[in-house]
Amino acid sequence: MGDYVTPGEEPPQPGIYRSEQMCLAQLYLQSDASYQCVAELGELGLVQFRDLNPDVSSFQRKYVNEVRRCDEMERKLRYLEREIKKDQIPMLDTGENPDAPLPREMIDLEATFEKLENELREVNKNEETLKKNFSELTELKHILRKTQTFFEEVDHDRWRILEGGSGRRGRSTEREETRPLIDIGDMDDDSAARMSAQAAMLRLGFVAGVIQRERLPAFERLLWRACRGNVFLRTSEIDDVLNDTVTGDPVNKCVFIIFFQGDHLKTKVKKICEGFRATLYPCPDTPQERREMSIGVMTRIEDLKTVLGQTQDHRHRVLVAASKNVRMWLTKVRKIKSIYHTLNLFNIDVTQKCLIAEVWCPIAELDRIKMALKRGTDESGSQVPSILNRMETNEAPPTYNKTNKFTKGFQNIVDAYGIATYREINPAPYTMISFPFLFAVMFGDMGHGAIMLLAALFFILKEKQLEAARIKDEIFQTFFGGRYVIFLMGAFSIYTGFMYNDVFSKSINTFGSSWQNTIPESVIDYYLDDEKRSESQLILPPETAFDGNPYPIGVDPVWNLAEGNKLSFLNSMKMKMSVLFGIAQMTFGVLLSYQNFIYFKSDLDIKYMFIPQMIFLSSIFIYLCIQILSKWLFFGAVGGTVLGYKYPGSNCAPSLLIGLINMFMMKSRNAGFVDDSGETYPQCYLSTWYPGQATIEIILVVLALVQVPIMLFAKPYFLYRRDKQQSRYSTLTAESNQHQSVRADINQDDAEVVHAPEQTPKPSGHGHGHGDGPLEMGDVMVYQAIHTIEFVLGCVSHTASYLRLWALSLAHAQLSDVLWTMVFRNAFVLDGYTGAIATYILFFIFGSLSVFILVLMEGLSAFLHALRLHWVEFQSKFYGGLGYEFAPFSFEKILAEEREAEENL
């Protein structure tokens, strides 16, 4: 089939058309220089390391202790970060990318972080203790105030009753809270005096404390039931809101005082208080002692406030100083950690002085990689240079497609279907044009396209500010990440809207219509005079109304006024246009498969896959496209002679769909549109319309059907024959020929000659699923049958699938027309101030619905359909998508992933 280009030797071409050429290489690094060399490679981000110790657990690797130290430093920095955020201190993030620290600097960083953590923990512990003491003293202050009030009320009431005698007995309705503990108001004088003396001897005990307000009702009930009503409880709410010493959350508490008699009740009361987590405080018996204690508490509170303020100021200063460097420290620690994690993938030679690594790297970047290794060796002070040695391998390399901020969005669309097989055609550069174009075919409207274009333009012009803002909203990130895709979709939508002559369902008469009104005014007046007749639709005959010169570009604006047959005309045009675009893209996909076969030197695929596919596609579908174009070019409203046949007029324009069916059924049809006498055939649109059409179509159908068994059996047969020939040749060679080889002993200065049979290389793969190894005919036949059936049936189903271009375009235009008619046009019916107000209101409604329904929802629908057309209909013709992505060791990527993980927490 001609000269083939061997992989790795083809002329240079931009990596965007195929993935970059990759090679497997070995790195030999001296132990002292390995850290710096890996750091330089991490800054470069062009090397993917392979794990040479897959059977060794993570805890048994050489640098596991260093990784643990990095984890510990990262933990301390996250602790600092949490404390800084808790105090709402802004962290300085300049975006600076410091170099990876040297291994000896790791000790200094550890000492700095250890000192900061210990200092901060000590300050936090002191602050927590001070806050706890402050809270306890505050509660004690409220207890002393409230208990003093309790005792003053009791003493006041007792002396008042003793002085007032029986004159106070009528106060049986007095509130329970204001009565004395032992009420002697209902006794006579002698009993009262005796009871007073006994009360003095009773000496009731009491405890005072603080309890949370929500626990108080249950506390009262349990206290009453457990003590059988032999205690007296008084409570009072604390007006100030106190803070919990552990969580810092505000809590509402109450002061209580419980009076009881005897040690047994005292024990019960204390256990109940302990169960409800009430805090008990000492309270003196005499007013004088309580007053003195209250003064002491107030003094201590003031001192604590001073000390607590100083402690908080010191803590704030420590955190402010740390906030200036914490982001930079995190970057350094993560770089160190990633370096040691990568070094754990290396092998160590027997001398323990050299580290060996295997890496995938782009061939075009080998010079930069070697320079990075040289810089790392020089910075480490090593005298032994680092060595990079290319290796030969049969393993499939990773796929690496270079992207920038413009091409990344389209590459992501392709990669979402599957990562390209190594060095196969990359669909992304073609998708950059075809994807927004097919989207625009379905979305075509200049107004809606302009809205989309302006939105994308805003994202593009403000991209630096929006990136710096780090907006976490997922929907926003989706639109922002695809801003260039949206930009092209909007631009193409404006173009297709211009071709459709559609702006918010309205047309623009830019060049002047090619149609003119040929209906006499008397006929028009006759229809307008009667209300019923005014609803009639008049048709402009193209023979007289059309001047013969088509509209210069796009759709003639007169069709926007044609209520009767507007949809018929646009449906016919868009349906045929969809078929043309679809078959053109499918044919382009098959042509791209030829480039893959050429590159992978698969002559069987070219002869027995590509050529039969093109013949099959041309015999039926490309022939259909030629018919569509011919019908547009040759058959008009005016009769004449077309391709040697007399053409009566538009009623005899050939029906392509029924003609295609008749082509497969091989039906006999009339030749031409009129018989020998000049009479038009009854169904002249079913006649053949060029000489020899019936014969040509029979040949095309037979030619297409013949390609199916060729695609199904030819390639498996030749693969089987080639395999047999290679097996016979290998057997003969093994029996007749033996070759001498030399085996050297690296530990001694001698060598020996040995005899070994020549090893015949295994047949290389033939592309599309056939790799090295023995040929399995069953698998080959199943694989070939699947691909043949998929292609043959796919040509039909995929052509029908492209009709979604017509369907969605029609739906979008009709929705836009309905929105204009049902909403905004009503504003023009009203006059005066009412009309002005209605115009503003209805325009707001019209604009909102246009954006949310026609731009967002319809745009999303068109996007998904365009995505399907590319993944299934286009890429299935040539794209394998069986590769794996190149994942280089890159500090930039690692830090970005860590930052994203932090933001998602």
**Residues 891, 835 share a domain:** no
Residue 255's contacts (CB-CB under 8 Å, 6 or more residues apart) are 139, 142, 143, 146, 147, 208, 209, 210, 235, 236, 237, 238
Please state the domain count of the chain. 2
pLDDT of residue 150 exceeding 90, the answer is: no
Query: Average pLDDT, stretch 448-474?
Result: 91
Residue-wise over 505-531: b if at least 16 C-beta within 10 A, else e?
bebeeeeebbbeeeeeeeeeeeeeeee
* Distance separating alpha carbons of residues 100 and 97, to the nearest angstrom: 9
**Residues 891, 853 share a domain:** no
Q: Per residue in 179-208, pLDDT tens?
A: 444 444 444 555 444 444 444 445 678 888
**Residues 476, 375 share a domain:** no
Query: Average pLDDT, stretch 348-365?
Result: 86
Which residue(s) pair with 754 in the sheet?
A: 741
Q: Per residue in 287-313, pLDDT tens?
A: 888 888 888 888 888 888 899 889 889
pLDDT of residue 7 exceeding 50, the answer is: no
Query: Is residue 28 helix, strand or coil?
Result: strand
Query: Average pLDDT, stretch 336-351?
Result: 89
458, part of any domain = yes
pLDDT of residue 738 exceeding 50, the answer is: no
**What per-residue confidence (pLDDT) applies to 835?**
85
In the chain, count H helices and then E strands. Answer: 29, 15
Burial of 230 (0-12, 13-18, 19+ CB in 10 A): middle
**Residues 552, 419 share a domain:** yes
**What per-residue confidence (pLDDT) applies to 491?**
96
End-to-end CA distance of the chain: 59
Beta strand 640-642 with 645-647 is antiparallel
**Residues 553, 427 share a domain:** yes
Least confident of 427-436, 533-542, 794-803, 815-824: 533-542
Least confident of 399-403, 422-426, 465-469, 841-845: 465-469
267, part of any domain = no
Least confident of 92-96, 231-235, 693-697: 92-96
Nearest of 270, 378, 879, 881 to residue 590 by alpha carbon = 879
Which pair of tokens denotes residue 281? 């405080």
pLDDT of residue 741 exceeding 60, the answer is: no
768, part of any domain = no
Which pair of tokens denotes residue 437? 């174009």
* Distance separating alpha carbons of residues 464 and 459, to the nearest angstrom: 9
Nearest of 819, 824, 821 to residue 843 by alpha carbon = 824
Q: Which of 235-239, 349-353, 592-596, 838-842 has the highest mean pLDDT?
A: 592-596
Residue 672's contacts (CB-CB under 8 Å, 6 or more residues apart) are 645, 646, 687, 688, 689
**What per-residue confidence (pLDDT) applies to 584?**
96
**What per-residue confidence (pLDDT) applies to 158?**
53
Query: Average pLDDT, stretch 422-429?
Result: 93
CATH number (domain holding residue 354)? 3.30.70.240
**What per-residue confidence (pLDDT) applies to 456?**
96
pLDDT of residue 743 exceeding 50, the answer is: no
**Residues 681, 592 share a domain:** yes
pLDDT of residue 177 exceeding 80, the answer is: no
**What per-residue confidence (pLDDT) applies to 206?**
85
441, part of any domain = yes
Which residue(s) pair with 515 in the sheet?
A: 546
Least confident of 242-256, 474-488, 669-683: 242-256
Burial of 412 (0-12, 13-18, 19+ CB in 10 A): middle
**Residues 574, 557 share a domain:** yes
**Start-end of H helices in 249-387:** 263-275, 287-323, 326-343, 366-380
**What per-residue confidence (pLDDT) applies to 383?**
84
What confidence tier does 79 reach under pLDDT thresholds 50, 70, 90?
very high
Which pair of tokens denotes residue 598? 């050429």
Nearest of 297, 443, 381 to residue 863 by alpha carbon = 443
Q: Per residue in 10-28, pLDDT tens?
A: 545 556 789 999 999 999 9
- State how far the alpha carbon of 418 is from the alpha carbons of 249, 425, 592, 597, in Å: 52, 13, 17, 19
Higher pLDDT among residues 330 and 650, named by residue: 330
Order of strands, sheet of 205-212, starting from the edge strand that comes earlier in the sequence: 232-237, 253-260, 205-212, 279-281
**What per-residue confidence (pLDDT) applies to 15?**
61
**Residues 577, 476 share a domain:** yes
**What per-residue confidence (pLDDT) applies to 242?**
76
What confidence tier does 610 reach under pLDDT thresholds 50, 70, 90?
very high
pLDDT of residue 744 exceeding 50, the answer is: no
**Residues 468, 370 share a domain:** no
420, part of any domain = yes
Contact 257, 234 (CB under 8 A): yes
Contact 814, 574 (CB under 8 A): no
* Distance separating alpha carbons of residues 443 and 440, to the nearest angstrom: 5
**Residues 380, 356 share a domain:** yes
Residue-wise over 100-130: b if at least 16 C-beta within 10 A, else e?
bbeeeebeebbeebeebbeebeebeeebeeb
- State how far the alpha carbon of 428 is from the alpha carbons of 16, 248, 493, 780, in Å: 7, 56, 20, 30
**What per-residue confidence (pLDDT) applies to 733?**
66
199, part of any domain = no
**What per-residue confidence (pLDDT) applies to 752?**
39
Query: Average pLDDT, stretch 695-700?
Result: 94
User: In the chain, pLDDT over 70 holds for what percent of residues?
Assistant: 87
Query: Average pLDDT, stretch 48-71?
Result: 91
pLDDT of residue 141 exceeding 80, the answer is: yes
Contact 48, 887 (CB under 8 A): yes
pLDDT of residue 779 exceeding 70, the answer is: yes
Report the mean per-residue pLDDT for the chain. 84
797, part of any domain = yes
Contact 446, 498 (CB under 8 A): yes
Query: Average pLDDT, stretch 683-693?
Result: 90
Nearest of 403, 369, 371, 388 to residue 885 by alpha carbon = 403
**Residues 891, 800 share a domain:** no
**Residues 898, 868 share a domain:** no
- Distance, CA of 418 to chain centre: 16
**What per-residue confidence (pLDDT) applies to 262?**
84
* pTM of the entire predicted model: 0.79
Domain that holds residue 357: 15-38+45-50+346-400+886-904
DSSP state at residue 49: E
Task: Please give the full DSSP string across 503-523, using - where no structure is assigned.
Answer: BTTB---SS--SB---S-HHH
Query: Is residue 147 helix, strand or coil?
Result: helix
212, part of any domain = no
**What per-residue confidence (pLDDT) applies to 201?**
41
